[in-house]
């Protein structure tokens, strides 16, 4: 999953469970018989784009390897309210103990996929891609990026290691766009994409003349973006062009129509509105409970 091996994913999920469960689920272990078996449904209470069911399933499987699971809807599909996303059955204690971690991840991923789909739909027909950003909660980037893909979006760089992105602070330290580009070309790994964030027409012209692979136009109105796109496209070697900066659903299509190749939207992951999803459980097999003791504590003996 996005660079994580199966064992690395399990290690991560075990850490999430350890944070929640600690030395034990005292409520469940006190109330639910150890050998009780339960069936459950995971239900979307709000409309959402589905993402994260395999992750949710794996959380439960780490607690009960014999868990039975059935997906009821495909990843990337839109689930209306009251849709059953999955059915599961297994040890009741495991289902109750894993519920919160499984749902937290599922709700977040469905929320990101749903928001992404809205942005993708908003620019439909323009050829413009919707990108994510590095504005993710630490430890959750792998899940957030998968959810963006499930919503129809495209992943930007995974981290600081797989692409050069020269931003305002880099330009300031280097002494401008051209010296920053020269240093990046000289010292970054060969063949790595070099993108430059620009905030003025002068920056833009320097980046294009310096041979940047991509230009990031940040915090400019659509009219300025359209004009700058025209300048960049007139170069002999036209770079890819990305727009960013406080993108909203109401305005994102205007930026797409300005001619950019992609639009990065930090709100997809830094301001997640979790989908409303619940787990509904019922016991299907449990050992009989002993009869309660009468008042006074000792059982009465009948002669």
* Tens of pLDDT, residues 259-278: 999 999 999 999 999 999 99
pLDDT band at 148 (very low <50, low <70, confident <90, very high): very high
Which range of residues forms the domain containing residue 13? 6-119+273-285
44 and 165 inside one domain? no
Contacts 24+ apart (CB under 8 A), 94-97: 94/60, 94/63, 94/64, 94/67, 95/38, 95/40, 95/60, 95/64, 95/67, 95/279, 95/281, 96/25, 96/28, 96/32, 96/38, 96/281, 97/17, 97/21, 97/25, 97/28, 97/63
Asked whether the predicted pLDDT for residue 151 surpasses 90, the reply is yes
Out of 60-64, 125-129, 189-193, least confident range: 189-193
User: What residue has token string 């350890």?
Assistant: 18
187 and 50 inside one domain? no
Q: What is the pLDDT of residue 203?
A: 94
* Tens of pLDDT, residues 21-55: 999 999 999 999 999 999 999 999 999 999 999 99
Asked whether the predicted pLDDT for residue 302 surpasses 80, the reply is no
* Tens of pLDDT, residues 212-269: 999 999 999 999 999 999 999 998 888 999 999 989 999 999 999 999 999 999 999 9
* Tens of pLDDT, residues 109-118: 999 999 999 9
What average pLDDT does this structure show over 202-209?
Answer: 94
Q: Which carries the bigger pLDDT value, residue 295 or residue 147? A: 147
133 and 252 inside one domain? yes
Are the beta carbons of 116 and 151 closer than 8 angstroms? yes
Under 8 Å CB-to-CB from 30, ≥6 apart: which residues?
Answer: none
Asked whether the predicted pLDDT for residue 95 surpasses 60, the reply is yes
Domain CATH for 73: 3.90.1170.20
134 and 261 inside one domain? yes
Please list the residues that pair with 244 across neighbouring strands. 218
Q: What is the pLDDT of residue 292?
A: 53
Residues with a catalytic annotation lie at 100, 135, 167, 197, 218
89 and 190 inside one domain? no
Phi (first) and psi of residue 203, to 5 degrees = -60, -45
109 and 198 inside one domain? no
Domain for residue 76, yes or no?
yes
How many domains would you assign to the chain?
2
Asked whether the predicted pLDDT for residue 299 surpasses 60, the reply is no
Domain for residue 1, yes or no?
no
């Amino acid at each position: 999953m996005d660079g994580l091996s199966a064992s690395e994913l399990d290690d991560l999920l075990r850490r999430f469970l350890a944070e929640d469960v600690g030395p034990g689920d005292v409520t469940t272990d006190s109330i639910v018989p150890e050998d009780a078996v339960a069936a459950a449904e995971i239900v979307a209470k709000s409309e959402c784009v589905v993402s994260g069911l395999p992750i949710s399933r794996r959380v439960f499987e780490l607690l009960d390897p014999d868990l039975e699971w059935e997906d009821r809807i495909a990843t990337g599909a839109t689930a209306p309210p009251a849709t059953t996303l999955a059915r599961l059955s297994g040890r009741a204690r495991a289902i109750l103990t894993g519920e919160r971690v499984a749902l937290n991840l599922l709700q977040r991923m469905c929320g990101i996929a749903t928001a992404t789909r809205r942005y993708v739909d908003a620019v439909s027909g323009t050829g413009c891609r919707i990108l994510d950003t590095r504005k993710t909660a630490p430890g959750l980037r792998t899940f957030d990026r998968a959810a963006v893909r499930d919503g129809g979006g495209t992943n930007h760089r995974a981290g600081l290691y797989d692409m050069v992105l020269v931003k305002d602070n880099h330009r300031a330290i280097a002494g401008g766009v051209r010296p920053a580009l020269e240093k990046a070309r000289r010292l970054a790994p060969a063949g790595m994409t070099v993108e430059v964030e620009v905030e003025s027409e002068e920056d833009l012209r320097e980046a294009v003349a310096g041979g940047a692979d991509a230009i990031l136009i940040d915090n400019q109105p659509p009219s300025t973006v359209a004009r700058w796109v025209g300048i960049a496209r007139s170069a002999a070697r036209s770079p890819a062009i990305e727009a960013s900066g406080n993108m909203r659903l109401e305005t994102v299509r205007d930026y797409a129509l300005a001619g950019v190749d992609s639009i990065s939207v930090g709100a997809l992951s830094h301001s997640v509105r979790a989908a409303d999803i619940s787990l509904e459980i019922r016991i299907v097999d449990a050992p009989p409970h002993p009869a309660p003791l009468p008042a006074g504590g000792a059982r009465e003996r009948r002669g």
